[in-house]
Amino acid sequence: MPDDELTDNEVTEQAKTDPVAFGLLYGRFVDRIYTYVYYRVGNHHDAEDLTARTFQRALANVGNFESRGVPVSAWFYRIAHNLVANWHRDRARRQTIPLDSLVGQRADVESPVAMAEQAERRQTLVKAVRKLPEERQQLVTLKFAEHLSNAEIGEIMGRSESAIKSLYHRTLLALRKELSELGISAEEGE
Amino acid sequence: MHLPSLFSGYRTIDRGKACLLDKHAWLVLAGEPGQAVKLRRAQEPGVASLMLLAEQLASAYRPVTMQPNRRQLLLRLLLQTLPRPYGRFAAAVRGHGREAFLGAAIVGTAYSLGRVAWYLHRRRQGETPSTSAA
């Protein structure tokens, strides 16, 4: 069977004895984990380092992996989440963390001025999200950067789908409040 | 307000809003911006502003990728620093080690209990226990 047709769980089983199969898992998940970590830490340098550590830890523990109905992706996200949480704890005393300029500017913006305004707006939004409690940041990242369903997010965060819906509502309310404290309304930039 | 909501602090009306926001987010992320905007414009201002915020989040949070050369380098480094022997034997030990340990513990415990029972039985019969049983 070609490698592409194997499920994530099948590849993970192979990866217990075969480093090449782990390479396949790496190829499937590295960008998703990198995106997740990047939006949680706010810069490429640390995102790269933490992504490397996520896969290092996964490689060290792949032999003990048991699916129990949970997707492999959830296992990777949990490892990444724990490392990001430790990273934030280590830097708890730091007042500000630089946020790299967001990549992938949209092509449909008419002028450089409008483009700059949109980029600034996006940065403000991401910075405001990063002031929210950790689980809310995690939810926003998994939903909007990773495009995961409520069920998938629930599996990663250990919550039910309805709890994720409620958390999403509360997160938007908190974010709107956070932005209004910065003097920014949701209508701006529409 | 329903009774359970008094305890949860999350009212039925909020659940309705949460469902609407969830539906809207689904439309945004499924690449249906027209439908999402239509749904937003049909809402009262409070919910509409949250929906607008969600649309802005979807625009701000886009996938980022590592540079291809960095990806390859990282994979090479990972595989060079394998944490332990990577082979069928090691995997078999890993896979069955826990079961083997549990099995040995159960057998050992059963053996010890058997010896204690045998010792008590002999003592009740007034016989001197053997040194090995003691």
pLDDT of residue A99: 54
Sign of CA dihedral A111, A113, A115, A121: negative
Instruction: Write down the residue that tokens 């007042």 correspond to.
Output: A95
Tell me if B63 and A31 make a contact (CB, 8 A cut-off).
yes
pLDDT for position A110: 55
The dihedral formed by the CA atoms of B5, B11, B12 and B15, expressed in degrees to the nearest 10: -120
State the average pLDDT over residues A134-147.
94
Predicted local distance difference test score (pLDDT) of residue A2:
56
| Contact with chain B for residue A119, Cβ under 8 A | no
The residues, ordered by sequence, that sit 6+ positions from A87 with a Cβ below 8 Å of its Cβ are: A41, A46, A50
**pLDDT for res A26:** 92
pLDDT of A64-108, one tens digit each?
888 787 889 999 999 999 999 999 888 875 544 455 544 444 444
Q: State the DSSP string of B22-67.
A: HHHHHHHHTT-HHHHHHHHHTS-HHHHHHHHHHHHHHHH-------
Nearest Cα to Cα of residue A127 among A179, A168, A86: A179
> Residue B17 and residue A187: Cβ atoms within 8 Å?
no
* Residue A190 touches chain B, beta carbons under 8 Å: yes
pLDDT of B8 > 50? The answer is yes
| Interchain proximity A187–B52, CB inside 8 Å | yes
Whether residues B87 and A17 touch (CB distance < 8 A) is answered with yes
Distance (Å) from the alpha carbon of B1 to chain A's nearest alpha carbon: 17
In chain B, which residue's Cα lies nearest the Cα of A150? B22
Give the ipTM. Answer: 0.78
The Cα B116–Cα B122 span in angstroms is: 10
pTM given for the model: 0.70
CA distance to partner chain B, nearest, from residue A18 (Å): 7
Specify whether the CB–CB gap between B53 and B45 falls below 8 A.
no
Please enumerate in sequence order all residues whose Cβ is within 8 A of that of B111, keeping only pairs 6 or more positions apart, or say none: none
Question: How far apart are alpha carbons B19 and A190 in whole angstroms?
Answer: 23
Q: Identify the contact set of chain B against chain A, taking CB-CB distances under 8 A.
A: 10, 14-15, 17-19, 21-22, 25, 29, 49-50, 52-54, 56-66, 70-71, 74-75, 77-79, 81-84, 86-88, 90-91, 94-95
pLDDT tens, position by position, B25-69: 999 999 899 999 999 999 999 999 999 999 999 999 988 888 888
Q: Does position B129 have pLDDT exceeding 70, yes or no? A: no
Query: Which whole number is the average pLDDT over A18-35?
Result: 90
Long-range CB contacts for residues B11-14, cutoff 8 Å, separation at least 24: B14/A166, B14/A169
User: Closest to B71 (Cβ–Cβ): which among A30, A47, A118?
Assistant: A30
Q: Which of residues 77-96 of A touch B (CB under 8 A)?
A: none
Q: Kindly indicate the confidence band of residue A189, based on its pLDDT and cuts at 50, 70 and 90.
A: very low
pLDDT in tens, A100-118: 544 444 444 456 777 777 7
- Asked whether residue B117 carries a pLDDT value surpassing 80, the answer given is yes
Cβ–Cβ under 8 Å, residues A136 and A177: no
A64 part of contact set with chain B, CB < 8 Å: yes
The proportion of chain B whose per-residue pLDDT surpasses 70, expressed as a percent, equals 72
What mean pLDDT do residues A150-169 have?
93
Contact yes or no for A81/A88 (Cβ under 8 A): no
Q: How far is CA A7 from CA A37, A58, B111, in A?
A: 24, 17, 45
- Nearest-Cα residue of chain A relative to residue B56: A122
- A69-97 burial by CB neighbour count: b if 16+ within 10 A, else e? eebbbbbbbbbbbebbeebbeeeeeeeee
CB pair distance less than 8 Å for A63 and B95: yes
